[in-house]
Structure formats: C-alpha cells, structure tokens
Chain A
Amino acid sequence: MTPTAGKTATLFTDTPLALDGGAVLSPVTVGYETYGTLNDAGNNAVLICHALTGDQYVASTHPITGKPGWWERLVGPGKLIDTDKYFVVCSNVLGSCLGTTGPWQDNPETGKPWGTSFPVITIRDMVRVQAGLVAHLGIDKLMMVIGGSMGGMQVQEWLTTYPERLHSAVMLATAPRHTAQNIAFHEVGRQAIMADPDWCDGRYYDHDVKPAKGLSVARMTAHITYLSEDALTAKFGRNLQNREEVTFGFEADFQVESYLRHQGSSFVDRFDANSYLYITRAMDYLDIAARHGGRLADAFKPAAHVRCCVISFTSDWLYPTVENKSIVHALNAAGVPVSFAEIESPFGHDAFLLDVPEMDHMLTGFVKAAARTNGLFFDDQETGDA
C-alpha cells in the first residue's frame, strides 16, 4: 500500500504512544486532510471520524480510486457541515493504510514492514492518535466530533477519554460494544484473508503478492451486512446478469453476485489486507462499559457538558436501534444532554452515508445549535435562543 498523497504529520516522536494492549509506538505518522480555516477564536473545528474502510478523503477526491469524497454530500462549502464556516479535520485511523502508521509500514527497528508483528490496537488507541493530531493542528477544543459506524465508536471514546476537549458529539448507526454476531461476521472476513495462500502469514509485502481473493471475500461478506434484505431485493431481486437464463454453472448468473464480486475486487485496489485484520479486531475488542464495571453510564459521566446527538436507522441490523439506544440511555443516566431519533430508511447500515432527508434535517438543526452555543454566529442563521 502506498502512503497518502495528502497531508501527513509525524507525532509521538518524544513521548511514545502507549497502546491499550501494552505495546508502544514511536513515531506515529498520520495521514489527514483539512477543509476550511481555523478561526482566531479556535472555536470552529469539527473532527470527522471515518468508518472501518473509510479514509481521510471525506470531501476530496480519493487518490487511488479517483472517486469523490465519501461524505461530500454533507461536507463542503455551503453544505450541512459547511467548510466556509467550520475547520474540518479528518484523519486516517491508526492501523489503516492511507498514510497512517499500520501493518503496511516499516517497523523502524527492522526496516521491514510490520505485517502481523504490528501490535494489536483498539478504538481508543485510534482516538489517542486523533487527539495528538488535533493538538498538533493547534485546536484546544473541538466544536464537534462526528462519525458513523466505527466513526461513532471513536466519538464514544472521545467522550470517555477527552471530554474536556469537546463541545458537542454526534454518533450515527453505531454501538458501544461488538455483539457476538458482529464479531462472527468479522471473524469470517479475517479467516478468508488468512486462508488465502498469498497472505503468506502476513508477510506478503516481501513476496510482491497480496491476498486479493481473501480480502475480496471479506469485503463481500461485510458488504452484505451494510445493506438490508429490502435494499438488496429492490436493487437486484433475482435479476440475471447480462443473460436470459441461468447457466447451470458457477459464473455470476445473478446481478447480486456480479455486484458483490465487483465490490470485492475493487476494494483490494485501495485497502491493505493486514489493515483489515487489525481494524476489525479493534472493533471486536470495543466494550466501553466493561472498563467501567459494566456500567456504560459511568464511562460518560465526565462528559456531562457535551451536547450529544445519536441517530439510528430502522433497517440497520448491523448496529440496530437497540444498540444506539443503549448509548442514549447511558448518556441520559450520566446527565449528558442528548437528542436521539430512529430514522426511517430502507438502506440498512449504510443509510448514514446516503441521502436520508430526515437525517439531514436533524443534523442541520443540531450542527447550527452546536455552533451557536459554542459562540459562533453567522448572518444566515436565526439567533436569540442560544
């Protein structure tokens, strides 16, 4: 995997990064992008946390795929997260493969890629690196931290670990821990990668190959969990792929097969298989309540001043409403002000990335109120109730 074409910071040079698993990393490089300008008061910074296979290119063209940013629908000049008003930061998470330290990078001690000798990381470790970047960029306090799915897990770790650096927090389609089913799907993905002979026990970088088949199958499996049965039926039904009849063979007869194969094969061009192992493991290890005697509310108590918003989607079976509501319940019990809605959407887990007008309405109101209450006033917004 190649380092990012974008911005890079080298952090934790003097003080190493102490990981939850006990290992230390020094230095840590971080690939990131920024949009807009940090104002003089320093009160307009928004950190966006990306999901499992996301990256820092939230509102600009991806350097490998050439596709638009993954949240350009919401982030940009004049958009819901308005880069004319806010200073938006998005960084590639620890363990990933677009400029941030991960298993693809050379171990400074050996001069060879880490591979599976890279230490296992957690969601909180990712957040520690983000906090380092935020400080490096001269931001004392974030007006908002926002993320969906694994991004929402990072937002929760921000609330538990650095609440004093937050004014508001938005969590979309997420969970405070991985369930057995969540872990099970991830394990299928990891086994697919490790079963590929080209994985070479994680040292495929040395052999000029990569476990494309295994990573592709991992992506295909995961992709199903991001959709819903209704969405798949509506999009593909039992439609055949460029043929009139089934072939009585194992080609991609059905459109849904062809679609998944494409999802899998295009993914391997932009993602590192070992990064996939490490990040899915970090998600599986997430159990915020466990660090607090099983009481999630206790984890959020230091965040009582942070304005929170949680949104779930009706057709999301990966991180269903009940998981999102457990966050809301805990925030409430901890005295953290929180708004919540379960928004109607047929799109499954991916809804937070897609065009869901009610989500936009709710987020628009929340972002503007967060800006007002953080001392930011703009000509085009109603004032007086902050």
Chain B
Amino acid sequence: MHNLRPDLKLIAELIEPGSRVLDVACGDGELLDYLVHKQGVDGRGIEISQAGVNDCVAKGLFVIQGDADKDLEEYPDQSFDYVVLSKALQAVHRPQLVLRELLRIGKRAVVTIPNFGQWKVRMSLVGRGRMPVTKALDKTWYNTDNIHFCTILDLFDLIEEEGLTVRTFVPHKADGKPLNYGRTRANWSADQALFLLEK
C-alpha cells in the first residue's frame, strides 16, 4: 500500500507533517490515507459519492458526504492548515466562491487543475472543431462532470483578481512529472498544474 499516485504525491510533498488538512472531493481517500497514516496529519474529507465515503471509512478515515458547492459553508473560518481541492475546481458550479471558501476555511489551499490550454487540447479544438477528448479530459461534452474548464493562465487571472498569493506553482505531465516552466510555457505544455495558495 501507499504507492501514492504521482500527482497526489506532489500534493503530499507540500503538506507539513502533523498539520490539519481538509481534502475536498477526496474520492476513495487515497491522498488522505497517505497524509494521515504516513505524515501524521489530522485529516478530514468531503466526498459526494457513497462508494467514496465507504472506501474512506474502511480506511479508518473521517469523511462527510457532501458537495463543495453547498457544504463548505458549514466549516468554521481558518479551521484547517490546508484545504485540498484536487482536480475538482472545474467540476463545481461556482469556482470563484469555492476558491474563496477554501481560503476562508484553510490557512492555505492546494488546488490542482487539468489544463485546458495545453497544446493537444488547443490543436484538437482547432483541428477537429469539436470539444477535445484527451487522456486528461476523457469525457464527451455532454456527459462530463467538468463544467467550468480553465487554462493555467485563466486560473492565474482569477487568483490575481481575488488578491491571492501563489506560494508554489507546479505544472506537470499527466504522469505527475513536474515541468520547470513559467506560466506561459506551462500553459502550452502541462497536462495539469498545482497551485499552493495563500491569502
């Protein structure tokens, strides 16, 4: 066990051992399990699917069934050191409000996104004239959960508009391999990107 998925490993590396972490949309609890049992984190999860909740509970984790759009308001201000939102910002109804909530609840937020600005996605849209379906974006437009796609540059714009600080920016390939690029080049090359944010 604990062969953590490479993109989740990138998140785990940013989180200080022993801190308090809320993982929003924690899925089957893979990251949370690692953080709690390997890094001594006091971790809690929010997950919408019953299967995900059951998997987390079986791992001995604490998870509340809920929805990033509705249930974050129940958490007190600054009650966690980190709030993690991994590849879910594009799936919420109100990304701007969710981003604000992450940094109201947590001292820091870790947000990862699939990059809609990556060249393969752009080429696919230009060349085929249809919404791209790639390895990272593997559903068709009508059945995807991803309703608010953005590029790396788009997210930088929103972060700046919200007056937030990017402490760490790690663009990476789908396999989790980091790319040591600036934001514009990353926007062309990276499949995904990780942002460590502060107010």
Assess whether A341 is in contact with B65, with CB atoms less than 8 Å apart: yes
Interface residues on A, range: 20 to 34
**Selected contact of A333 from candidates B1, B64, B66, B76, CB within 8 Å:** B76
Q: Would you give the shortest CB distance from B34 to chain A, in whole angstroms? A: 10
Assess whether A385 is in contact with B53, with CB atoms less than 8 Å apart: no
With contact pairs A332-B75, A384-B1 given, residues A339 and B59 touching in the complex (Cβ less than 8 Å):
no
**Selected contact of B54 from candidates A328, A332, A342, A362, CB within 8 Å:** A362
Q: Would you give the shortest CB distance from A122 to chain B, in whole angstroms? A: 29
Q: Would you give the shortest CB distance from A303 to chain B, in whole angstroms? A: 14
The 8 A CB mask of B20-64 against A (1 = contact, 0 = none) is 000000000000010001000000100000100111111111111
With a cutoff of 8 Å between Cβ atoms, the chain B residues found around residue A365 in the complex are 54-55, 57-60
With contact pairs A332-B74, A333-B76, A362-B53 given, residues A368 and B62 touching in the complex (Cβ less than 8 Å):
no
Distance A366 CA – B60 CA, assembled complex (angstroms):
7
Distance A25 CA – B60 CA, assembled complex (angstroms):
42
With a cutoff of 8 Å between Cβ atoms, the chain B residues found around residue A385 in the complex are 1, 33, 37, 59-60
Residue A261 CB within 8 A of the other chain:
no
Distance A369 CA – B36 CA, assembled complex (angstroms):
14
**Interface residue tally for chain B (C-beta within 8 Å):** 22
In A295-324, the 8 Å CB interface with B consists of 307, 309
Of residues A342, A365, A368, which shows the largest number of chain B Cβ atoms within 10 Å of its Cβ? A365
Residues of B within 8 A of A (CB): 1, 33, 37, 44, 50, 53-66, 74-76
A-B pairs with beta carbons under 8 Å apart, 27 shown: A309-B57, A328-B64, A329-B74, A332-B74, A332-B75, A333-B76, A337-B44, A337-B62, A338-B62, A338-B64, A339-B57, A339-B62, A339-B63, A340-B63, A340-B64, A341-B53, A361-B54, A362-B50, A362-B53, A362-B57, A364-B58, A365-B54, A365-B57, A365-B58, A365-B59, A385-B33, A385-B59
